Amino acid sequence: MLSMTISPKSRLCACLMLAVALAACSKQEEAAPAATAPAAADAPAAEPAATPPAPAVAATVQAMGADQLRDAASQALRENRMYAPAGDNAMEYYLALRDKLPDDAGVSSALTDLMPYTLIAAEQAVAREQFEEAQRLLALIEKADQTAPALPRIRQSITSSQQAVAQRSEADAARARADAEARAQAQQQQLATQQAAEAEAARRLAEQETARQAAAAREAEEQREAAARQAAAQQQAAAVAQPAPAQRSLRPISMPSPRYPPDALRAGTAGEVLVEFTVGTDGSVTDARVLRANPARTFDREALNAVRRWRFEPVDAPVTTRRTVAFSPGG
């Protein structure tokens, strides 16, 4: 059997190396599942629930053989997994190994070296309000040495911190209720002010209604006369001056191709979209809409986006036309 006895000089070097690695272990501990969350903002504070403590050493670790535990413990130390994560750390491996080999001095020495860092980690977990992690580390410490002087202090620290969290949650809930009441009062005051302003506006509108009726009547008469003149002009233009074919023909300046939808391109889907649109006098496209698409709703958006970017030579009057936009994966 491999002896675990460590000389004083070697133990000092090992402690220095473990001290340097403590920060890395703390990061692994922070990556573990979050501790118990504070109570909801509107829930009353309650004493921490008394739940049965989990075993200090995971059952999977207890089931390992002595040689396997020794190898796993050495690997955990090399990788700075001194006390975390749960179920895969040097403390649990050595505790399980001590259960199997209670007289092995090397195992006891290794646990003695690991104890200070586990104590520090437990205190850090309490400071971060990660109470489940703190309880787990406390169980490791207690299993390693039930007479450890720090045990009562850490237990009290966990209890006090949990009570402080509960009190803080209750205070936060009270502040939230007070803020909600203040907001409700402000909203009521704002609503009352708004209603008063609306009533004043309604009174002024009523006073101005008589004058507005006369103005509205004159405006309506002017609109009727303007509509009559416009209708007459349109009739005259339609009867006398029909647009020449050259005026109504569309000459494209820029017709960018549509973007191929990625899903359709990957699937090798082809299709076409019949689009109706209007070309304005400046040659830009307006009022584009899909008349028919095959397959439906696959290329509609990209066809419309492309048509809206088309440009034609300016025309004398807006022209509405139709074009088929084709999509071919090999085109």
- Domain ranges in the chain are 8-171, 248-327
In DSSP terms, which residues pair with 324 in a beta bridge? 274
Q: How confident is the model at residue 35 (pLDDT cuts 50, 70, 90)?
A: very low
Give the mean pLDDT of 259-286: 96
Distances from the Cα of 87 to the Cα of 57, 74, 84, angstroms: 7, 15, 8
Taking 60 as the threshold, does the pLDDT of residue 251 lie above it? yes
Q: How confident is the model at residue 238 (pLDDT cuts 50, 70, 90)?
A: low
Q: What angle do CA 131, 134, 139 make, to 5 degrees?
A: 125
User: Residues 3, 106: contact at Cβ < 8 Å?
Assistant: yes
And the tokens for 69? 């535990």
Sequence-separated (6 or more) residues with CB below 8 Å from residue 167: 45
pLDDT value of residue 249: 85
Distances from the Cα of 157 to the Cα of 55, 135, 146, 175, angstroms: 21, 11, 17, 26
Q: What is the pTM assigned to this prediction? A: 0.44
Single-letter amino acid code for the residue at 321 = T
Distances from the Cα of 249 to the Cα of 46, 242, 263, angstroms: 81, 14, 37
Higher pLDDT pick, 244 / 262: 262
Q: Would you identify the CATH topology of the domain 248-327?
A: TolA/TonB C-terminal domain (3.30.2420)
Taking 80 as the threshold, does the pLDDT of residue 193 lie above it? yes
pLDDT value of residue 206: 63
Sequence-separated (6 or more) residues with CB below 8 Å from residue 47: 163, 166
User: Residues 91, 25: contact at Cβ < 8 Å?
Assistant: no
Sheet holding 271-279, edge to edge: 285-294, 271-279, 319-327
Q: If phi over 0 gives left and psi between -120 and 50 gives alpha, with beta otherwise, what is residue 268?
A: left
Q: pLDDT tens-digit profile of 209-234?
A: 977 997 887 888 889 888 888 876 67
pLDDT value of residue 241: 41
pLDDT value of residue 224: 86
Single-letter amino acid code for the residue at 260 = Y
Token pair 């989990």 is at which residue?
A: 54
Taking 50 as the threshold, does the pLDDT of residue 247 lie above it? no
Give the mean pLDDT of 72-81: 97
Dist CA 292 CA 47 (whole Å): 67
Distances from the Cα of 233 to the Cα of 220, 221, 222, 238, 239, angstroms: 20, 19, 17, 9, 10
Distance of CA 96 to the CA centre of its chain: 41
pLDDT value of residue 202: 63
- 251 burial level (CB within 10 Å; 0-12, 13-18, 19+): exposed
